[in-house]
Structure 1
């Protein structure tokens, strides 16, 4: 690798909430750790996969729920910063962390390094309603959406809607309260929608979107890093082959695929909104009208970011560290055909997709290389710890996700 990294500036993986099996955090630890950069991480306990990585200098055990007051979380970050004892690059792995950092830049500066951004922008981007409004303002295609404010609004929508429709939580921070729906829920009919809506309370915290038929759509992702001028220093595009739950959840299998049109669309949008930092975008290409429709904008690293690397060895986390420490970010073509597999969820996803008969047209016939989310010959403990923590509760959780997704997909009138 032909770039000079500042090994005197550590990185800190910042995560809030209880999700110990997070392969993205492990990937970030390995990405910087293999370059000799000291990496610290906030973990739920001392026995998470991230906490046992050979590349982690120290785990700061700090169980959080995502419901804490921002002042408490900021104070906790500052305490960790003082214990590290030198300026440290912050690497958020969830929306709560990304929003907290953006909204409390004044308190965190000095002890930490992070991209500067308009304080309210990450919260708008993480919100389904805020993102929809930005898409409309800047001419970015997105699924037709409706935001009910009361049950009566749902009734009016149901009277004229074309089913199936998709229900999602309006705000990203569903851990702060009981979510209205468990992830993306497909609703087949008017009666099914009204039945679900009765459980949403006086103010439904949902977005109702048009359903993009899977037989007429393709799932694409963009991972990138943008500098202080909103210029892309690292830009990657890929196609999602499988997710879990099927067609509606976390990426289980994906490939790097060159897509200049998609890269240009993302670059234009991010330049116009003035965002700086790491992004993870989910888009669906609708073959019926030939448009890429933006589904999600995550203003932080995505869990599958290690899929994406260029010929110079740059991924988005390395680009972030290099840029914030004043180093140039080497250019290079992305490693087209490279594959990413999340071992613990790809097998059930593979079985589900085979039953449905769905395939991704743009997936290469053969991978040019494979990056596994958990297994690494030079860092075995995270993989082994994942197995220990996943097998019993993980299988039960996968089953519950599948059942929830299935119930949403097959809701019928009584």
Structure 2
């Protein structure tokens, strides 16, 4: 296939993107800031580069100067999305699937996407925004339990706190919120939708220039780490929910006039069965996006074809495979290996691409032996 792709970020997310693109013969180059075990994949070429900020802008310019064509850009982290959105006029020569900057910024802020959800007619848990300790009184407007998290990803917050916290009452939340605010700058508090990790669903999609959903796949979490409030430790197909959640996802991104890779997370109420939208992911692949590729819907290949003005690859959805993060399992997550009609695939290990798994194993052994700084 003509053209090439540049993937910014080679964590587990980026590894899935590289493997998805390589599977259909697309030439891939990847940036990574640590050159860790994921760069041991046999697919594509790699280079050390910053993944956000001015360093990324400069690295993109240097890389593009080496090429005789415009590569398709794939982003895997929110800080990279923010950098590209703010510097589009300084990043010529790339095929970038992304809407206007104000749309991007609304998508990554848990307060600002609420009006978009309302326009799309989606149900969202009752939410308040906290910007100072004076806003603590707003918590009394919500029915507990409450889930509290930063409005946006902030490095200073992530270094000290979990992704989110669930509190049984406003009084329980009050002691922690000043410190959380100091680190994050802005928090959102929502009414917690009853249900375990298996109640969390997501629809992964790619949207064309007219905000039309060109491909999509729906799954659900089989486990989160940490439980209840963490990221995806395991997930599996959810074909029974696809029609409903794909329609809601299309409605949301159309209301935003969105283009690019996007997904929505939902939670199904344990008592009523109603779905509530939790948050979007915009202009980048989601952590578990490879679930779609494993089941016949190669979203990175769709983005590549759309940006290159090529015929879209045919999507042949199947529902045979789940996805399982071995790092979360090693940390203590209890992730099922199989379920009704599906078996979980290890997100790291692949028989035809064992390098990342082997490199990760060597790294774990070196750390246990205290050899982290030795070659």
Q: TM-score, normalised by structure 1?
A: 0.79
Question: Any residues of structure 2 matched to 1:242-253 within 5 Å, and which?
Answer: 242-253=223-234
Offset at 1:257?
1.7
Unaligned runs of 5+ in 1: 1-5, 355-362, 395-414
Which residue matches 2:340? 365
Residues 253, 341 of structure 1: 8 Å contact kept: yes
Note the alpha carbon deviations across 1:166-213, whole angstroms, 9 max, x for none: 1100123x1266778421111223433221123245795211111112
Which residue matches 1:210? 191
Query: Size of the alignment, in residue pairs?
Result: 363
Change in 2 beyond 3 A, CA 1:270/1:9: same
Which residue matches 1:323? 306
Q: Does 1:150 align with 2:132?
A: yes
Change in 2 beyond 3 A, CA 1:80/1:260: same
Q: Does 1:183 align with 2:163?
A: yes
Question: Any residues of structure 2 matched to 1:17-36 within 5 Å, and which?
Answer: 22-36=11-25
Offset at 1:79?
1.3
CA–CA distance in 2 between the matches of 1:170 and 1:126?
Answer: 8
CA–CA distance in 1 between the matches of 2:62 and 2:156?
Answer: 24
CA–CA distance in 2 between the matches of 1:217 and 1:62?
Answer: 37
Which residue matches 2:41? 53
CA-atom RMSD in angstroms: 2.7
Offset at 1:32?
1.5
Which residue matches 1:263? 246
Offset at 1:50?
2.8
CA–CA distance in 1 between the matches of 2:111 and 2:310?
Answer: 37
Change in 2 beyond 3 A, CA 1:177/1:243: closer
Residues 195, 269 of structure 2: 8 Å contact kept: no
Note the alpha carbon deviations across 1:248-295, whole angstroms, 9 max, x for none: 222121111212111111112212211111113211112444432121
Change in 2 beyond 3 A, CA 1:198/1:233: closer
CA–CA distance in 1 between the matches of 2:312 and 2:61?
Answer: 28
Residues 13, 40 of structure 1: 8 Å contact kept: yes
SS at match of 1:141: coil
Which residue matches 1:387? 361
Q: Does 1:303 align with 2:281?
A: no
Which residue matches 1:42? 31
CA–CA distance in 1 between the matches of 2:172 and 2:116?
Answer: 30
Residues 197, 221 of structure 2: 8 Å contact kept: no
Change in 2 beyond 3 A, CA 1:63/1:332: closer
SS at match of 2:113: helix
Offset at 1:11?
1.0
Unaligned runs of 5+ in 2: 369-375
Question: Any residues of structure 2 matched to 1:265-284 within 5 Å, and which?
Answer: 265-284=248-267
Residues 197, 204 of structure 1: 8 Å contact kept: no
Which residue matches 1:107? 90
Offset at 1:82?
1.5
CA–CA distance in 1 between the matches of 2:299 and 2:355?
Answer: 24
Which residue matches 1:14? 8
Change in 2 beyond 3 A, CA 1:72/1:376: closer
Offset at 1:162?
3.1
Offset at 1:10?
1.3
